[in-house]
Amino acid sequence: MRIFSHIASAALVLWMMTAVSCENKPSNEEFPELKTCQVLKDRELSSQVLGRTVRFNVILPPDFSEEGKYNVIYLLHGMGDDNRAWSESPQIRGQVNSLAFELGQMITEGAIAPTVIIMPQAWNSFYLDSSDAQKYIGGFCDLMDYETFFHEELMPHVEKKYHIDSRRECRAIAGLSMGGYGSSYYALKYPEKFCCLYAMSQAFFNPLTELAMKADKDALPVIYIANGTNDMTVGQSPKQFSELLESCGIEHSYEEWYGGHDWKFWGECIPKFLKAFGKEFNK
């Protein structure tokens, strides 16, 4: 009898554990399965403007289809990096979630509509044409007509190939350091092309001041600026850019938190800029 009593007790405990487990198990609606983005590495575009082949990486949203029309984020790398930086460095050098993972999660959660991310190689061009690079940056950058290439060759090519909606409200631009400068420069100079800018740890050179001072405030993209309080490379440059915009009466958001000029900080920016862009795309 004692043996049967132990067996009955064990069975009752097992049933109770199973019942509790089933009762507390989250539904698929509460925690939908994370959708996976596809990373395309080292795509190539033969540039007549630059007289060379330019590589670029692409992140495609889950369930990408040639029948679709997608938003786009142009994501610019910093000095000394290349087209692979944004798609590989956050998890490798920053020990944070990858860009593709974060995008997939945001799309799954509905925080951003299906979006293509384009990450072009830019050498150390500062994203300028050679005459402006020589005038504003100096001799330490690579001299090439990169601005012309970006707008006349790269954008039309990728937007056709990856079925991107080329309306302003479907385009955003972001970058870090040198890319933060380049993205700010493009956003101020070509406000009709981008709905939102997110500049991280950006370098600050002219002609940003000239562009800001003559800008039509109502025509500019929504502007976000992020800086690490322990950044010893660009120092207060992002804050100075914020102060310039403020002096010109240009609305923007400036945020800083503890971090350096490194991939841990920029990795922490990823969900922030995806959420910011998602908000603008949804308008």
- Of 63, 70, 73, whose CA–CA distance to 35 is shortest? 63
Point out the least confidently predicted range of 44-53, 73-82, 132-141. 132-141
Strand partners, 57: 119
pLDDT at 24: 34
For the cut 80, the answer to whether the pLDDT of residue 218 exceeds it is: yes
In CATH terms, the fold of domain 31-281 is Rossmann fold (3.40.50)
pLDDT tens digits for range 240-283: 999 999 999 999 999 999 999 999 999 999 999 999 999 999 87
Q: Mean of the per-residue pLDDT values for the chain? A: 89
Check: CB of residue 125 under 8 Å from CB of residue 81.
Answer: no
For the cut 70, the answer to whether the pLDDT of residue 190 exceeds it is: yes
- One-letter identity of residue 77: H
pLDDT class of 32 with cuts at 50, 70, 90: low
Distance CA 86, CA 101 (A): 12
The pair of three-digit structure tokens given for residue 134, joined into one six-digit string: 């020589």
What are the residue boundaries of the structural domains of the chain, listed by start? 31-281
C-alpha triplet 127, 251, 233: angle, nearest 5°? 45
pLDDT at 36: 87
- State the average pLDDT over residues 3-23: 36
- State the average pLDDT over residues 208-234: 97
pLDDT class of 22 with cuts at 50, 70, 90: very low
% the chain with pLDDT above 70: 88
- State the average pLDDT over residues 18-40: 55
Of 64-68, 140-144, 228-232, highest mean pLDDT = 228-232
